[in-house]
Amino acid sequence: MTLTHLRRLGLICLALALAWLVMARGYADYLARVLPQRALALNAGQPEALLVQAETALRAQRLDEAEQLARSALRSAPLSGPALRVLGAVAEARGDQGRAHALIAMGVAVTPRDTAGQFWLAINALADQDLDGCLQRLDRLLRVEPEIEADAFPILATIAVSPAGVRAMAQTLAPDPSWRRQFLGQLIQQAPAAVDVLRLFREIRAAGGAVHEAETDQMMRRLMAANDWKRLRRLLQTLPAATGAIAGLSNGGFDGEGRSPVLDWELDRVAGADVLVADDPMQPGNRALQLVFHDRRVPFRHVSRWLLLSPGNYRLSGRVRLVDLQAAQGLMWTLSCAEENLTIGTSERLAGNSDWREFSMVFKVPSENCGGQRLLLALDARIAAEQQISGEAWFDDLKVERQLPAGATDEETVPALETVIRSR
């Protein structure tokens, strides 16, 4: 074999050795997270595998082993923030809180996206009563890693419902961070006391932010479910369109100026009928509520809304047009107290044919157990056979007006709500 051949053979062997080294190290990198021991058998200095082993030893409280493995990882990757965090955790476990904080802060500085390190610093900032520091770190984490919501939201909720933390929390929420909708949705549902959420709403506005419609609506539903009419009225006072909902009936013309769940109608679907807000063919340009029944049995109770009337005497009026409406008992408006489902008013039964005409009913809101009222348009049917209905019904211009006793003045019959508002 000539010298040239030997050189060529040597180069081939060297290339094969280098290729094996590259492949072994690449395979070790691939195995580092899933099979760290095998990765270290291929490359004893693989930093990620060393870190995985260090974290495993730390969780098992094998502190010396964890420290040794983390130092080995640092020798292979000197700017490994997670390795510094493990060393900090070892220092904390040994009672050296100052060294722990310094190491973990250094680790986060070199690897800002180390979630565990950022979370540790946030929790410790909270323990040190540094609310701003805690919230800033959690805010940054949630913006880039929404998957930590399950860990971060309970901490944020504790701050939000605390009188000492609500202002800082409001300042964090006011600029509308990406995680706000999910957080407030959970908080409104799960906060122990509604008053804590309402206080947070006030602080968000004071911080220059806004409480969004979806958040307000969700809070309204919570208050309604608890029959907390007093706080619901106070919440409505923060909305520009709330006057009609409190003093009487908003969006009585079905023109769209209201908003659910308190400021507008609930129009639900039901088989056998169409519930629409449509243009009135008798009055072009005017929109009204249209009900179309298809000659079937329909348990119709699918037009309703909430009212928040203070105690007193009232008159509900509106306009109706009927087009061959055939029903055994007809349609009827009913007003009930929400707390005890006590009926306080019913309209005439509506059936047959008529051009646009006025209808009305008078009722009295009692002074007790009637903070909220439910107005319902339903088919008055006592048995299933009476649910058969066909034809059309149109409604428009509904309104509720307070009725003054003979000889009384407006000043003597000011709704109790206005007294509440003036006293705030």
pLDDT at 9 over 60: no
| Highest-scoring range by mean pLDDT, 259-263, 304-308, 416-420 | 304-308
Indicate whether 356 pLDDT > 60: yes
What six digits make up the tokens of 27?
């395979």
The domain made up of 1-111 has a fold known as 1.25.40
As to burial, measured by CB atoms within 10 angstroms (0-12 exposed, 13-18 middle, 19+ buried), residue 376 is middle
pLDDT tens per residue across span 362-412: 999 998 889 899 999 999 888 999 899 999 999 999 999 998 765 555 444
Higher pLDDT, 152 or 261: 152
Position 200 pLDDT exceeds 80: yes
> What pLDDT sits at residue 111?
81
Whether residue 45 is predicted with pLDDT greater than 70 in this model: the reply is no
Token pair of 99, please?
Answer: 């060294």
Helix axes 149-160, 115-127, angle to 10 degrees: 20
φ, ψ at 239 (rounded to 5°) = -105, 135
pLDDT at residue 4, rounded to an integer: 59
User: To 10 degrees, what angle do helices 194-206 and 229-236 make?
Assistant: 10
Average pLDDT, the chain: 81
Output the pLDDT for position 418.
Answer: 35
Shared fold status for 1-111 and 247-410: no
Residue 44's CB: how many other CB atoms inside 10 A? 12
Q: Are strands 373-379 and 303-307 parallel, antiparallel or unpaired?
A: antiparallel
User: Is pLDDT larger for residue 410 or for residue 62?
Assistant: 62
User: Dihedrals φ, ψ of 55, to 5°?
Assistant: -65, -35
What's the token pair of residue 414?
């000011």
Q: Which of 251, 270, 271, 253 is CA-nearest to residue 261? A: 251
Q: Does 59 or 333 have the greater pLDDT score?
A: 333
CA 296 vs CA 225, 299, 323, 387, 406: distances in Å? 33, 10, 16, 8, 47
Report the share of the chain in percent with pLDDT over 70. Answer: 81
pLDDT given for residue 6 in this prediction: 46
- Is the model's pLDDT at 231 over the cut of 70? yes
Class in CATH terms, 247-410: mainly beta
Q: Is the pLDDT of residue 57 over 60?
A: yes
Q: Average of pLDDT values for 138-155?
A: 89
* Domain positions in the chain: 1-111, 247-410
As given in the structure block, the two tokens for residue 280 are: 């009135």
pLDDT for residue 22 = 34
Q: What is the DSSP letter of 376?
A: E
Distance of CA 301 to the CA centre of its chain: 29
pLDDT of residue 2: 62
What does the pLDDT average to over 82-101?
81
